[in-house]
Amino acid sequence: MRVLVVYESLYGNTRIVANCVAEGLREHHEVEVVPVSGAGADLVDDSDVLVVGGPTQFHGLSSDWSRGIGAEAAGNPRGGVEIEPGAVGVGLREWLFNVNPGGERQAAAFDTRFEGLTLLTGRASSGIAHRLGKRGYHLITGPASFLVDRRNALLPGEAARARVWGATLARALEPVSPSAWSARSSGRKAW
């Protein structure tokens, strides 16, 4: 199966998690990892499975406003964080409103967030999963969160946990039916 992992990352943590999830998925599937700015309709349409992740900002998905605040924080010499190249462009919130319909293709959602009770930290993966479902994607598992500390660094063991989550996803994916493969090779969409 072709799996597309799409991520938004402000300080690099979600990019790291996306790549670790992809490592786990690669045990059984062909995987491409792209930032949201590079996730065009053609890549989405050519995938069998969509895995989407982003940072939790102000209890949910990022916005232009929250990415601007994050960029300002990175510009503060005492902040101790650097912003990812291209992080202030299109975010997942906007992308998810425009992503091509899933037609019941399989999907999964993850986020990075501060350690703590979800009630206090929020969880972007819930919003991602909700939007994917509204666009016609079939979620194969509940949303996952990977934790960062107050200095915006992944907690120890989270990268390894992301690889395990990816491997678990790889085993949970349903095979694509032969009719979908033959429709794909003839240029028609079976979904």
pLDDT digits (tens, 9 = 90+) for 6-49: 999 877 899 999 999 999 999 899 999 999 988 989 999 999 99
Report if residue 161 sits inside a domain: yes
Report if residue 107 sits inside a domain: yes
List pLDDT tens digits, range 98-157: 898 888 799 999 999 987 767 777 788 899 999 999 999 999 999 999 999 988 889 999
pLDDT for the residue 72: 58
Give the residue numbers spanning the domain of 80.
Answer: 2-185
| Count of domains observed in the chain | 1
d(CA 70, CA 48): 33
Strand, coil or helix: 45: helix
pLDDT for the residue 185: 38
Which residue has tokens 């996730």?
A: 39
DSSP assigned state of 188? -
Report if residue 73 sits inside a domain: yes
Report if residue 123 sits inside a domain: yes
Q: Which two tokens stand for residue 121?
A: 């930290």
Report if residue 138 sits inside a domain: yes
Q: Which two tokens stand for residue 174?
A: 């349903």
Polymer length of the chain: 191
- CATH at residue 108: 3.40.50.360
Report if residue 191 sits inside a domain: no
Residue 84 banded pLDDT, cuts 50, 70, 90: low
| 174 vs 24, higher pLDDT | 24
Residue 180 banded pLDDT, cuts 50, 70, 90: very low
Q: Which two tokens stand for residue 26?
A: 């690669």
d(CA 17, CA 171): 19
